[in-house]
Amino acid sequence: MTVIIKTHDQIEKMRIAGRLAADVLEMIGEHVKIGVTTEELNTICHDYIVNVQKAIPAPLNYHGFPKSICTSVNHVICHGIPTEKKTLKKGDIINVDITVIKDGFHGDTSKMFIMDKASPAAERICRVSHECLLRGIELVKPGARLGDIGAVIQQHAEAQHFSVVREYCGHGIGEGFHEEPQVLHYGKTGTGHILQEGMIFTIEPMINAGKRHTKLLPDGWTVHTKDRKNSAQWEHTILVTKDGYEVLTKRSDETF
């Protein structure tokens, strides 16, 4: 496994890409509402990234992915394809996943949005999945291991009687959309790759309300829970600093 340690100049470019990705999520928030289609959300984000940010939406044409963002609603775990046929309804939860390329470097982030009249159970899985992300981030520092991150996420999710998706994980990121290492959201403390200053990777736990098992749809992208119970995910791009971490995709409403 070859993990790319980023240089000072590369980190500065990653900061810019991360800020842009966070900015897209902040911009799209007012548009994520009942009655909007996921295709409309895709168009708004695409136009903003291309015309305002003068950047590139990384998912578009990535291994054939047809859209500029991922929109995963309710029991869709990840990689949901925006479509005119999918209109947000009362009670829905949706993950909007944004990856921006600026000057050759990627910023990758996602968050959950909760529609009016969502059930307490739907709100709870969104909250717990966010807590899982935060607990994983808090452990990032030089000398820690990737297994420490996976273990704390798994422990928190399972303590709340939820399950952790295992087929999809976080990843190193930089000039490549997906680089080494893989960042599993389950595992054992004291195992896995040792974190070093200058590493950059995503943490993006996918937490299921039911069992952890997944199903890939015939489109080759959309992944949903096999039992069709809700799933929730949050994601940030994280830099390992000299004494801890920096969240490169931090939004203005967040404190780290």
Over 80: is that where the pLDDT of 1 sits?
no
Query: What percentage of the chain reaches a pLDDT higher than 70?
Result: 100
- Residue 112 in any domain: the answer is yes
Q: What is the mean pLDDT of residues 78-105?
A: 98
pLDDT digits (tens, 9 = 90+) for 65-85: 999 999 999 999 999 999 999
Phi (first) and psi of residue 70, to 5 degrees: -110, 135
Q: In which residue are the tokens 């595992």 written? A: 187
Beta-carbon contacts of 15 under 8 Å, excluding residues fewer than 6 positions away, are 248
Q: How far apart are the first and last CA of the chain?
A: 30
* Among candidate residues 184, 230, 192, 235, the one with its CA nearest the CA of residue 211: 230
State the DSSP H helix or E strand holding residue 44, giving kind and residue range, or none if neither: helix 38-47
- Residue 252 in any domain: the answer is no
**pLDDT band at residue 203, thresholds of 50, 70 and 90?**
very high
32 vs 51: CA distance, rounded Å? 20
- Residue 215 in any domain: the answer is yes
Over 80: is that where the pLDDT of 235 sits?
yes
- Residue 3 in any domain: the answer is no
pLDDT digits (tens, 9 = 90+) for 33-77: 999 999 999 999 999 999 999 999 999 999 999 999 999 999 999
pLDDT digits (tens, 9 = 90+) for 122-171: 999 999 999 999 999 999 999 999 999 999 999 999 999 999 999 999 99
Mean pLDDT for the chain overall = 98
CA of 19: how far to CAs of 45, 75, 125, 200, 252, in Å? 15, 29, 27, 14, 10
Q: What is the mean pLDDT of residues 90-102?
A: 98
Over 90: is that where the pLDDT of 21 sits?
yes
- Residue 45 in any domain: the answer is yes
Is-contact 178 200, C-beta < 8 A? no
User: Could you give the number of structural domains in the chain?
Assistant: 1
- Residue 49 in any domain: the answer is yes
Kindly report the CATH number assigned to the domain that includes residue 119. 3.90.230.10
Structural domain that includes position 145:
8-247
- Residue 38 in any domain: the answer is yes
Is-contact 195 140, C-beta < 8 A? yes
- Residue 254 in any domain: the answer is no
Amino acid in the structure at residue 127: R
